[in-house]
Amino acid sequence: MTLRLLLLLGLIVPAVASVPCFAAADRVALVIGNAKYPDADAPLTEPVNDARDLADELKRDGFNVDVLENAGGEAMRHALDRLYGKIKPGTVALVFFSGYGIQSNRQSYLIPVDAQIWQEADVRRDGFSLETVLGEINGRGAGVKIALIDASRRNPYERRFRTASAGLAPVIAPTGTLVMYSAALSAVVSDSGRDHSLFVQELLKEIRVPDLSAEETLNHTRVGVTRASRNEQVPWISFSLAEDFTFVTGPAGNRPAGGAAETNVTPPPAPTPSPTQVVVAPPAPPPAPPMPSPAPSPVQKADTPPPAPAPTATPAPVPPAASNSPSPEPNVAPTSTQVALADDPTVKSLSAKIAANPDDVSALYRRGQVYASKGAYDLAIKDFDDTIRINPKDVEALNNRCWASTVIGELQTALRDCNEALRLRPNFVDALDSRGLLNLKSGANKNAIADFDAALKINPRLTSSLYGRGLARQRSGAAQEGALDIANAKAMDPNVVQEFESYGVR
C-alpha cells in the first residue's frame, strides 16, 4: 500500500495553492563520484555508479547536471566554480558527493582523489569544506540549496593523525538548505562491495515519486535506509527550507508547506515499552510506508538480506464478491476526472514519453503512481499491467497493482499479485502490508494479523499495518489488544481512520 500517503493527503487537504515551478535553467547540480584514491587499499565500488545513476535521474527532473568521476582537487575546484557561475537569484542548487569525507575543527571536508594528507592541516588544505561550498552557493542567491553527502566512510588517512574524528560533522548551513549524510554524525559505514550504495538506492526510489516535497523525499529515504540496514545505518538530515520544493516537477499536489525554522532530524528514537508506539522527530511526516520505486534498474537490485521471516500462512482464495463495503465499478467511458488528469502537467509529460516509446517502463510505472494517487485506479492498473508485461518480475508494480485492485474490490487478482511479489522478494514489507489489507477486506482476519505482524517486525512505525492489525484483532475477538493497536496507530497518525475508510474498511 505504498501509494497511500499521496491519496490520503489528497482526501484531507484541498488543493488551493501551488508551488512555483522551477524551469530546467533554474535547477543546477554538481554530482561527484570519487572511487580511486591511491592511498586506499582498493578502489571504492559504489561512488561512480551512484553518481551516474543520480545524475541521470536529476537530468530527467530538469537539472542542468555537471558530473565528475574520480576528480582531483583542481577538477573539483573548476567544477565548483562552474556551479557557482550558473547560480542566479532563486536557483535550486544541488551538490552530491560520494567518496571519502573527513571532519576537522567541527567541519566536514570532501576529499579529492589526489589529496596528500599526512596531518590534520592537510585536510583543510586539500579538502573542500561543505560549509564553505554551501555559503558560496547561498551568496550567489540560490533559493534552495541541497547537499547529499555519501562520504561517511572510514578513510585511509585517519590512521595518520590521532586528532581526526570518525565520520562527518554537523553543518551550520544558511536558511533554505537541506543537508543529508548517508550515516549519523561521527558514524561510519563500510563500502558494501556492491555496485551501488544502500543510501543512493533508497534516495533514487524516493526522488522518483511525484508530488513529494523534498523534506518528505529525504525523510522517506532515511526511514528506508534505517529499515534496510536493521538500524545499523541511520542517515542524518538538517532542514531549513523557507519554501516548498519537489524533485519531480508537476502539480504541487497537497503537500504541506515547508517551514522556515531549521530543524536537525535526529535518528529514530529507541522504542518505548510499547514496541509500536514511537515518537518521530519533526519535521518528518507521520510514519507511512516508503513510496514505491520505478521499474527495477541496476540501482534497485542490490541483494540486501531480508530483515525478518515472512509469514508461512498463505491466504485462502478470496471469493469474487468478498468485500466489507461496496467498491466502485471500473470506469467504462472517460470521466471528468480522467479528462482532468489528461491535462495534468506530470501526466502529459509522462504520456508524451509513452507515446514516443510505448515500452518506456519507467514512464508507465510513474504514470501509474500518479493515477493511483489521484484515485484513478482503473488507469493506474492499466499502466501497472503494461509495466508487468514488460518486466514480469517487477515486484514494485506487482505490489501496487495488488493494492489498487484491493481498493476497488478485485480481491482475487490482488491476491495473486501480492503472493507473486512476496515469492519474488520474501519479506517485502509493502506487499505484506497490501496483503494484510486484502485479507482484512475479505474477512480472513487471522491471515491479516499474520501479514501485519510480519510487516511490523520489519518496520514498527508502519501505521497502516498497526491500525489494520488492530481492526483484525477486534474482529477476531481480541478486543483489548485491538483497541491498543488502534490507539497507538491513531496517536502516530490521526488520519489513519479516514485512510482506511477511503479503502472501504471501517
pLDDT, tens digit (0-9, with 9 covering 90-100), for 368-379: 877 887 788 899
Quote the CA–CA distance of 157 and 146 in Å, as a whole number: 27
More confident residue, 250 or 366: 366
Q: How far apart are CA 169 and CA 253, in angstroms?
A: 35
The arithmetic mean of pLDDT across residues 391-411, rounded, is 91
Closest CA to 451 of 433, 467, 463: 433
CB 236: neighbour CB atoms within 10 A? 24
- Please report the pLDDT score of residue 144 as a whole number: 94
Q: What is the pLDDT of residue 280?
A: 32
Which pLDDT band holds residue 339 (cuts at 50, 70, 90)?
low
pLDDT recorded at residue 476: 94
Rounded-to-integer distance, Cα 135 and Cα 361, Å? 40
User: What is the pLDDT confidence band of residue 338, given thresholds at 50, 70 and 90?
Assistant: low
Decide if pLDDT at 328 tops 50.
no
Mean pLDDT of all residues in 408-435: 92
pLDDT above 70 covers a percentage of the chain that reads 75
Cα-Cα-Cα-Cα dihedral of 311, 314, 319, 324, to 10°?
A: -10
Please provide the DSSP assignment of 423-466 as one string.
Answer: HHSTT-HHHHHHHHHHHHHHT-HHHHHHHHHHHHHH-TT-HHHH
68 SS3 class: strand
Confidence at 273, pLDDT banded by 50, 70, 90? very low
Q: Which of 13-27, 59-73, 172-186, 299-313 has the lowest mean pLDDT?
A: 299-313
What is the model's pLDDT at position 178?
Answer: 95
What is the structure's pLDDT at 98? 97
**Which domains, and CATH codes, for the chain?**
18-265 (3.40.50.1460), 306-321+336-502 (1.25.40.10)
- The string of pLDDT tens digits covering residues 122-158 is 899 999 999 999 999 999 999 999 999 999 988 888 7
More confident position, 301 or 173: 173
Residue with more model confidence, 324 or 121: 121
Predicted pLDDT at 160: 66
Q: What is the pLDDT of residue 156?
A: 83
- Whole-number percent of the chain with pLDDT over 90: 48
Residue 101: left (phi > 0), alpha (psi -120 to 50), or beta? Answer: beta
Q: What is the pLDDT of residues 254-267, one digit of tens each?
A: 333 333 333 344 44
Is the model more confident about 33 or about 161? 33
Give the full edge-to-edge strand order of the sheet including 101-104.
Answer: 101-104, 107-110, 128-129
- pLDDT at residue 13, rounded to an integer: 41
Average pLDDT of the residues in 315-322: 41
What's the whole-number mean pLDDT along residues 66-83? Answer: 96
Whole-number Å distance between alpha carbons of 389 and 292: 18
Residue matched to cell numbers 518506456: 360
Could you tell me whether strands 144-150 and 92-98 are parallel, antiparallel, or unpaired per DSSP bridges?
A: parallel
End-to-end CA distance of the chain: 17
DSSP string, 170-220: -----SSEEEEESS-TT------SSSS-HHHHHHHHHHTSTT-BHHHHHHH
- DSSP letter at 115 equals -
For 82-119, the pLDDT digits (tens) are 999 999 999 999 999 999 999 888 889 999 999 988 88
Q: Angle 377-390/361-373 helices, nearest 10 degrees?
A: 160
Average pLDDT, the chain: 79
Q: What pLDDT is stored for residue 320 in this prediction?
A: 40
pLDDT at 478 over 80: yes
- Tell whether the torsion through CA atoms of 243, 244, 249 and 251 is positive or negative: negative
pLDDT of 219 reads 93
The predicted structure's pLDDT at residue 138: 93
pLDDT at 43: 92
Reported as a single tens digit per residue, the pLDDT across 3-27 is 554 454 444 443 333 334 444 448 9
182 touches 199 (CB < 8 A): yes
Global confidence as pTM: 0.49
Say whether pLDDT at 358 is over 50.
yes
Amino acid identity of residue 366, one-letter, is R
Phi, psi angles (nearest 5°) of residue 108: -100, 135
Q: Per-residue confidence at 493, pLDDT binned at 50, 70, 90?
A: confident
- pLDDT the model gives residue 321: 36
- The sign one gets for the Cα dihedral 47, 52, 56, 61 is positive
Amino acid 17: pLDDT: 38
Give the distance from CA 75 to its chain's centroid. Answer: 31
Exposure string of 108-135, with b = 16+ CB inside 10 Å and e = fewer, is bbbbbbbbebeebebbeebbbbbbebbb
Query: What integer pLDDT is reported at residue 251 of this predicted model?
Result: 40
Tell me what the mean pLDDT of segment 221-248 comes to: 89
Report, as an integer, the average pLDDT of 239-247: 85
Report d(CA 138, CA 394) in Å as an integer: 41
Of 292 and 462, more confident: 462
Residue pLDDT, tens place only, 161-208: 645 567 898 888 888 999 999 999 888 887 767 888 999 999 999 998
Which residues contact residue 53 at a Cβ distance below 8 angstroms, ignoring those fewer than 6 apart?
A: 196, 200, 204, 297, 298, 299
